[in-house]
Amino acid sequence: MNITLAQAEKIISSAKEKSIEINTKMNIAIVDSGAHLVAFSRMDGAWLGSLDIAIKKAKTARHFDMNTGIIGELSQPGSPLYNIEHSNNGLITFPGGVPIKNASGEIIGAIGVSGSSVENDHIVAETGALSI
C-alpha cells in the first residue's frame, strides 16, 4: 500500500490547521512507503532551516516505522541505537516524524514537521497522521 497525493494533501491541510490553531508556522513533508517525497508545504514565514529537517523527519519515521522521538530515546549514549542518526545520509532523531497508517493499520507513508518546539512539531505531525 502507498499513500496517494489526495491523502497527502489532506494530511498537510490538517497539519496546517493545527499549526494555525497553536500559532506556529511549519514545514510539512509527506513521504510514501518507499520514503520518497510526495508532498511538501512551507507555511508563510516558516523557518528555512526547518525545510530539510521536516523531510528528514518524515524519511526517518518511515525508514524505521516509528515516531522519531522514540528513535531519539533509543539513540542516546549507551542505548541500542546510539549513533543511528549518522546512517541513511543523516536521520533526525527528535520528535516531529510520525508514520502514517491506513484504515487497516498498514504503514503507507510518514509525515515530518519542523518549525517550532519539538513538542509542537510532534503535535502537528500526529494530528496530520491521524487525519486519514
User: Which CA distances in Å does 68 have to 53, 62, 129, 130?
Assistant: 12, 9, 13, 16
pLDDT, residue 1, reads 82
The superfamily in CATH containing domain 5-129 is: Haem-degrading domain (3.30.450.150)
Q: Which residues of the chain have pLDDT under 50?
A: none
Chain length of the chain: 132
pLDDT, residue 70, reads 97
Query: Among residues 36, 65, 8, 41, which one has the least CA distance to residue 115?
Result: 41
pLDDT, residue 68, reads 98
pLDDT, residue 123, reads 98
Residue position matching grid coordinates 508563510: 44
